[in-house]
Structure 1
């Protein structure tokens, strides 16, 4: 294996095991959460294992489940990890198709020694048992084999599958026989194919699977292969004869088979928050344990260790002593919304999958409370009441949930919406709440009485954002119907529509002159061809003084005068950061923070703008993909950002405000 000696950031933790400050991006003072888990690999003969997440690769130690290292954070989005059989090397693949290999002999100085490029998102990487080859499967359902010593691609199996819009191609399992002669993988139609590594020909095809195959495992002798599927079937085939020797039905369960080195076939049956470990040949239960949340990832290693991960917990079962090790509320799903409590001591985050709302303690950087209400749902938006005693959540299940923060109790549910509730916002005083849904409905509520007071009628499509003026007399909304509207809160009538169409006058823009001229030239050409777009707006915010409204549009941030709705300024966004779809004003109103969606860059930007001049004061690069939400603490000292990479960063604003 040729070495190119590319050093990679890697930090060992020697403190409390929370790892909130490991490998932080410049400007950040803490990380809340560790990113959703995509794959897990155990280091044979040790107490260590690695977890591939959207922010990088975590190194954990059993039985404490303490994170002792984090690396490969330059891009993150790690989709697969695997150790070589002798434990000397680690391979990882990511969403971009990048494959890296590290020499891990020295735990304190892991070095990247090689790298390859795959032609789609990496689904799985595995070393051959003799460690001469690396097999890689991708989302396009093609398998490539690289010779590790020379770095050359030696084999290619499968036929590329085009992903149609709106469809999802599941991860396909892949495995190699212990004699390095056979490769098995699952095709898009759930067929299991066996290929000869020597002859480069397909030798077997098993079509009995009727649903997605979750795992494959060769027996140590290489004669048999076991598969587990989504519909509860465990099958074992004789590879040479092409016949099925065992068919076991475990009902509506997910099945993960794993041969141990002595030839025993174990199976993990996962269903309804319960895991059962089976000796599959004897149909004997070996152990049973519970878990929380929907299983996203499961990895069964030689029948000895099983790791399962959900948005709520990461859990490891060890066969040696039937021990269970867990870590809770760290590898969460993506936080869609963040908001500080009025005293800035707590940050509330609403999550996409099954985490509900988590309250993070800012001082100790820990999750101190979770609002889930039994069956948690996707939370699109959160907001604290002015006094901080209530927390409102706009949920995908069409309800608005109101919690008593101090008592940790659900006070009421507001149920007038028929579509998912996209946005909630408390008024600056009293107990007025506005909620808006994906159908374009905006309702105002008296939360104390759980009574709907009025509708704001006009939008025809999903409401993306709403904001109260500081006096509570005005409300502004942004919708997918390509309009932003200003409302009179008292009577619910529309005052005006804010102009959001692209501007044709270069003098109206702030930004890089060459990019402004290029954009205006493009807009003018579209205007002449009668193809000028109506405008796309994703987020909107009122300034603390109430004199200005800011909106995040495609390519630009636009500022309007809140009194006459005229355009004050348009800040053209730099290349690679053209989606400024998270916005928030600083408490002093002199600055505006924007967070971008991913557009092909290694990291996504968060920018601080001076409102008066439109100048970019500072730029932070931290999240691996879309910034979902931004929030300032009440004193302006902290900026919180949540990303689709599943983490929240706290940024120090004191040098800039």
Structure 2
């Protein structure tokens, strides 16, 4: 029997009756976790939020998953959900005796995170005194009586008495925004009993004293020259015997982790290396180099003898910290690794990925264990109802389609429709039966607690694929022979599900998927190409070669929407232009917004010029009766189509999604902070804000009967709202 499972069995038998009582309360509702901790007016939640952190309980019987919506607790015997402790969680720490679990919401506290402390047996939240902000790193004292927190942007240290909930916060003046006006992004943190570490600019790491708040030292290595091969404990195989240099600029440290005793620090970076440091002498102990992607997850075993590293290359490496030797490599995830955790006895390693799964590995044999946790998708792009409103289909950023039964609130299946690592663009047909998409191969980094992804490399698949959602079968494809080049930033299905609109290298394509007819709408207006884009050196005029300048100054399409009857298409671009098109002929109809003057937007000269966009169009929506068009941009939301329509009062900037209510009396705006604002169109007044997402709202869709609102977000969840309840004052 695996040591982990033996340990698990013994620990389970020894658990106190209070734990069993707490779990018993959830037994009956376990299958209905879709209804746990719902926001007001929501009927259900599909998906559990993207993974930010993993931590085994001290007795090894449970695992805590810090997600974008809270901490999920799982029973490791069954793999079932036990509880959800609400509130965005970026970091997790169990007290040594297992009595408490702490959650830190990270630096982005405005997105619903905060410092929280829970009793593990009763699942009751401990009341905390005022003064503690959202924590970016957590550490319990050895006796479990004190919780030490690194707060905000690493600019304060908090100490909390877990029994009383009282504590104090010491601000670190040299880490304040007054002293540091510009910070690296991302800026990772790690916390030990006497030190904390911060990844700063150009691959450097700072060590600070938790008691005095003074900086102790700066570690340098990431982004610099590698030492001679004989001095390396591990090297990348294709480096042969030649040392090489890594660029200083942009080689950020992405992850930091202290060993359990605090004597070692591990760091992972964009330079694809893991480095081990002695925290007493600041000596670089080893460079561990086998990954082919960025390293953004690290975990030490309890005895500190092994280190696990996870990468955007989708693999997990297991290292010996004394020798620097690679022990094993674990593969099987579809996307990059974001979190790692060892079981208390070190026999099992848990790996969490942006593909939404948590896998468990036997660290002795390297085999994948049968237990698995799912539905932690990082980013849900879009959804669509079935024609009878009984089912829902959703598509994630990585092309994973999931199917949900709205009568049982259960997932009924999934399908992988990806052709690459992510979907650069995608749209579901109104009946949810077809997916149109453009894929890309990319290295993606998701910062814990952040929103969206950072791409280091991206190679777009030069084809548009039409897929049968339920089976994943490819129905049709457009490729380079059809004139498809760089496509897919914006895509939309016509209301009848027959035509797909998408942008492609200076044009909009209207693809009738039944007749295979394609209408190409050129977006390049040769008369408006500036011949003198403010030459940087001021010596003469510069005329861009034919075919070059339009690709640089023709703003990309950023939003598309069909009218309810499908006869018109509205496009919005990065330059703020909004244009209507006839979908049968491709002829331009009346322009709604002219956008900015592109000659003024282009600054600089040949080989060194920039384009600055002031009001990118981020969302479009037509009213069902076709009389109003809502336009969301960086500056504001505009309502076009009627001079009598009142303007929105206190309308938000940067709406990421828009929708009209079924009766066209309310406008909904999804925001980057996760809120959904509702506006009364008869008065322009804001009715309320629906709060449930903790990251950018991607999609707002109503069921065909108008009774249910669906919202999806970059927090990885789908919320189903009772519209009658949601719209009540």
State the TM-score bracket (shorter-chain normalisation). Answer: 0.7 to 0.9
Partner SS state of residue 485, structure 1: strand
More strand per residue: 1 or 2? Answer: 1
Verify: 1:306 aligned to 2:321, yes or no.
Answer: no
- The one of 401, 404, 413 equivalent to 1:368 is 413
Aligned residue number for residue 447 of structure 1 = 513
- Aligned residues: CA RMSD: 4.1
- The one of 492, 507, 513 equivalent to 1:425 is 492
Verify: 1:293 aligned to 2:335, yes or no.
Answer: yes
Verify: 1:594 aligned to 2:608, yes or no.
Answer: no
Verify: 1:37 aligned to 2:78, yes or no.
Answer: no
Check 1:645–1:247 CA distance in 2 against 1; reply closer, same or farther (3 A cut): closer
1:21 shift after superposition: 0.7
Aligned residue number for residue 390 of structure 1 = 434
Partner SS state of residue 341, structure 2: strand
1:485-526: per-residue Cα shift (whole Å, max 9, x none)? Answer: 22222322222122699xxxxxxxxxxxxxxxxxxxxxxxxx
For 2:131 and 2:362, the matched residues in 1 are separated by: 33
User: Is 1:83–1:127's contact at 8 Å kept on the other side of the alignment?
Assistant: yes
Aligned residue number for residue 142 of structure 2 = 129
User: Is 1:371–1:408's contact at 8 Å kept on the other side of the alignment?
Assistant: yes
For 1:219 and 1:81, the matched residues in 2 are separated by: 15
For 1:184 and 1:537, the matched residues in 2 are separated by: 40
For 1:630 and 1:325, the matched residues in 2 are separated by: 37
- The one of 347, 353, 369 equivalent to 2:392 is 347
Check 1:593–1:133 CA distance in 2 against 1; reply closer, same or farther (3 A cut): same
For 1:377 and 1:217, the matched residues in 2 are separated by: 32
1:558-607: per-residue Cα shift (whole Å, max 9, x none)? Answer: 5444xxxx4341341447x45554223445x44444133146xxx61342
User: Is 1:336–1:380's contact at 8 Å kept on the other side of the alignment?
Assistant: no
Check 1:413–1:128 CA distance in 2 against 1; reply closer, same or farther (3 A cut): farther
Partner SS state of residue 19, structure 1: helix
For 1:446 and 1:117, the matched residues in 2 are separated by: 57
- 1:180-219 pair list within 5 angstroms: 180-181=193-194, 183=196, 186-194=199-207, 206-210=219-223, 212=253, 214-218=255-259
Partner SS state of residue 692, structure 2: strand
Verify: 1:72 aligned to 2:142, yes or no.
Answer: no
For 1:261 and 1:30, the matched residues in 2 are separated by: 38
- The one of 503, 514, 539 equivalent to 2:619 is 539
Check 1:394–1:465 CA distance in 2 against 1; reply closer, same or farther (3 A cut): farther
Check 1:606–1:646 CA distance in 2 against 1; reply closer, same or farther (3 A cut): farther
Paired residue total: 593
Aligned residue number for residue 106 of structure 1 = 121
1:109 shift after superposition: 2.5
More helix per residue: 1 or 2? Answer: 2
For 1:430 and 1:44, the matched residues in 2 are separated by: 53
Q: Which runs of 5+ in 1 are unaligned?
A: 1-10, 502-532
- 1:39-438 pair list within 5 angstroms: 39-73=53-87, 76=88, 78-94=89-105, 95-97=107-109, 99-114=114-129, 116-118=131-133, 122-131=135-144, 134-137=147-150, 140=153, 142=155, 144-146=157-159, 148=161, 151-154=167-170, 156=172, 159=175, 169-176=185-192, 180-181=193-194, 183=196, 186-194=199-207, 206-210=219-223, 212=253, 214-218=255-259, 220=261, 224-230=263-269, 233=273, 235-240=275-280, 243-244=283-284, 248-250=288-290, 252=292, 254=295, 260-262=301-303, 264-268=305-309, 272-281=313-322, 283=325, 285=327, 288=330, 290-300=332-342, 304=346, 305-312=348-355, 313-317=357-361, 324=369, 327=372, 329-352=374-397, 354-363=398-407, 364-366=409-411, 368-384=413-429, 389-393=433-437, 397=460, 399-415=463-479, 416-429=483-496, 431-436=498-503
- 1:5-20 pair list within 5 angstroms: 12=26, 14-17=28-31, 19-20=33-34
For 1:536 and 1:255, the matched residues in 2 are separated by: 31
1:381-428: per-residue Cα shift (whole Å, max 9, x none)? Answer: 41316x765332355636432112354212223344444423323334
1:287-328: per-residue Cα shift (whole Å, max 9, x none)? Answer: 845333111223346672533221221224465997736546
1:484 shift after superposition: 2.3
Aligned residue number for residue 25 of structure 1 = 39
For 2:302 and 2:406, the matched residues in 1 are separated by: 47
For 2:265 and 2:615, the matched residues in 1 are separated by: 54
User: Is 1:99–1:116's contact at 8 Å kept on the other side of the alignment?
Assistant: no
Verify: 1:461 aligned to 2:472, yes or no.
Answer: no
Aligned residue number for residue 507 of structure 1 = none
User: Is 2:308–2:340's contact at 8 Å kept on the other side of the alignment?
Assistant: no
User: Is 1:140–1:163's contact at 8 Å kept on the other side of the alignment?
Assistant: no
Check 1:324–1:175 CA distance in 2 against 1; reply closer, same or farther (3 A cut): farther
